Amino acid sequence: MAATKTTVDITAAMVTEAVPLADWLLVAPVLLTMAGGAISIIFRKKSATQPWIAITTIALVILSNIGLLNHVLTNGVVTMVMGSWLPPFGIAFTADPLGALLALTASVATMCVAVFAMNSIAENERRYGFYPFLLMLLCGVTGSFLTGDIFNLYVWFEVLLISSFGMQILGNEKVQIDGAVKYAVLNLIATTLFLAATGLLYGLVGTLNMADIAGKLKAFDNSGPMLGLATLYFLAFAMKAAAFPVNFWLPASYHTPRLVVAAIFAGLLTKVGVYALLRVMLLLMPEGRDWLASLIGIVAIATMLTGSLGALAQTDIRRLMAYLVIAGIGAMMAGIAVGNEVAVSGAIFYSMHSVLIMTALYLLVAFMFQMSGTFSLREIGGLYIRTPLGAGIGLILLLAVAGLPPFSGFWAKLLLVAGALEAGRGWVAAGILVSGLFTTIAVGRLWIFAFWRGGNEHTVDGIQALPIAGSSDAADISWSIWLPLIVLTALIFVIGILPETMMSITENGAKTLIDPTAYIGSVFGGIR
């Protein structure tokens, strides 16, 4: 039986004019990483070629992301709708300066990790899929940064979570499974909250397209449900970002995976949570942010203080770094709590800085472990004599994470403090400064113990103790370990010396977030 065919004119619902080739840069990172991931799964047994597949793919992604950032900065917010279906029906990929900048930074950090892992991930763990997972993680992360659809954001969250579960248990140790369970359970709860909130939001406004939501919520009279939703989203993303008091999973799980894995987690995963907060709180629900501002401020201050105090209390370097991640999250949330252009620009700057610095610091920990054979601040020591270059890199990175000039962290904190004072939120500014002080003490203590002191804690001043058995010489450290460390340090240094370009990008990003006209205009073109 032949079905009766009805012809429907669908051209009204579709993009009909030609799309410039440059717009494909929006989907290129996702397509490239997916294809690269697939190819590296097919060649999973060839562990010698694995890194090169990943490195080539990520290099292409970096190039494409540079092109995209350039495209966004010259032409404003860029949108591409999947399958030519006009928004809000087609899923939109929308890149504003915030998304494009973070996507670029994330791909650079992933590249450094991919190179670093060439030597530090054992052969059999490569067979268990380190590189495919790394590529799919990057796929999920860039997808989250570039999508313009809130349900699609959820999907990318899933992609990156599944890959991160796989990466976390590389090595099959009991303690890793333990860490992974804590990580997985809390992340699943957060994802469920996110999904529930998205369902409710869809019930409220009948759309999932972020630009459409932003426009519709602005015209929404009944603010009660919207405020509830904002709170729900805040809780969900605060869990992902590891904000106080839902951050206990982070120090409990980040010291268990391989250090390169921890590096990419610390660099990217929490930042995706912060990015989602920026997007939802500032672009979609500015009213909700205003209403929650004091709460976010308190949470931010508590996160910064618990993070920096926690770092001060730790004797295991890996756990110390985990607390530094948390302290940084607090600073970014402070930017959201303040919410004016300067502070949001600072939060974007800090996110970018945090991706680089946290990746670099965990790689530094891996380097220090290889040099000294221990993670304990009591046992470690004498690294300055054995590796002056390593000590220099360590000093720059540690000062940068504390937010001291002339490194990238300083400018981010400067913007945050200036924004907070401008908005009359002196408490938030004080929180940033006090936590910066604690962080400085914590990292100073780390540097002095690990590099300056001659040996372990019983070493008398001026005496160089023998290295611990099992540690390697600086000459044995391969180029694949030095290169990522040096590149990341150089980036942090250059951004610190020449912050104007970066500041203009983050300022642009903050403007686009706070005034969504450009974003909405890009998605709906001249239609509305």
* Sites of contact with another protein (CB under 8 A): 15, 18-19, 21, 23-24, 27, 31, 34-35, 37-39, 41-42, 44, 80-84, 90, 93
Q: Which two tokens stand for residue 507?
A: 């300022």
Minimum CB distance to another protein, residue 21 (Å): 8
Beta partners for residue 94, in sequence order: 79
Name which of 15 and 227 has its Cβ closer to another protein: 15
User: Rounded to whole angstroms, how far apart are CA atoms 236 and 187?
Assistant: 9
Distance (Å) of CA 255 to CA 78, 309, 417, 521: 39, 18, 31, 44
Q: Which helix (H) or strand (E) holds 81?
A: strand 78-81
- Pick the closer one to another protein by CB: 30 or 505: 30
Of 82 and 497, CB closest to another protein: 82
Residue 211 or 401: which CB sits closer to another protein? 211
Closest distance between another protein and the C-beta of residue 84, in Å? 4
**Shortest spacing between CB 350 and another protein, in angstroms:** 32
Distance CA 77, CA 91 (A): 16
Kindly state the smallest distance separating residue 253's Cβ from another protein, in Å. 24
Residue 35 or residue 465: which is nearer to another protein going by CB?
35
**Which one, of 230, 228, 226, lies nearest residue 217 by Cα?**
226
Cα 147 versus chain centre, distance? 15
Nearer CB in complex with another protein: 81/217: 81
* Minimum distance of another protein from residue 352's CB (angstroms): 27
CA distance linking residue 22 with residue 28, whole number of Å = 10
Nearer to another protein, 45 or 458 (CB): 45
CA atoms within a 13 Å half-sphere pointing along the CA-CB vector of 97:
24
CB nearer to another protein: give 48 or 82.
82
Contact 150, 34 (CB under 8 A): no
How near is the Cβ of 222 to another protein at its closest, in Å?
35
Distance set, CA 2 to CA 5, 9, 250, 253 (Å)? 9, 21, 59, 59
| Structure tokens, 391 | 């000590």
- In this structure, are residues 334 and 432 in contact, taking their beta carbons and an 8 Å threshold? yes
Task: Kindly report the backbone phi and psi dihedral angles of residue 484, in degrees, each rounded to the nearest multiple of 5, phi listed first.
Answer: -60, -40
Residue with tokens 């250059």: 494
Q: How many residues does the chain have?
A: 528
Report, in Å, the least distance between residue 98 CB and another protein.
22
Residue 90 or 339 with smaller CB distance to another protein: 90
Would you say 343 and 423 are in contact if contact means Cβ atoms under 8 Å apart?
yes
Q: How far is the CB of 130 from another protein (least distance, A)?
A: 14
DSSP bridge partners of 85: 14
**Nearest distance, CB of residue 190 and another protein, angstroms:** 24
Task: Yes or no: say if 162 and 183 are a contact pair by the CB < 8 Å rule.
Answer: no
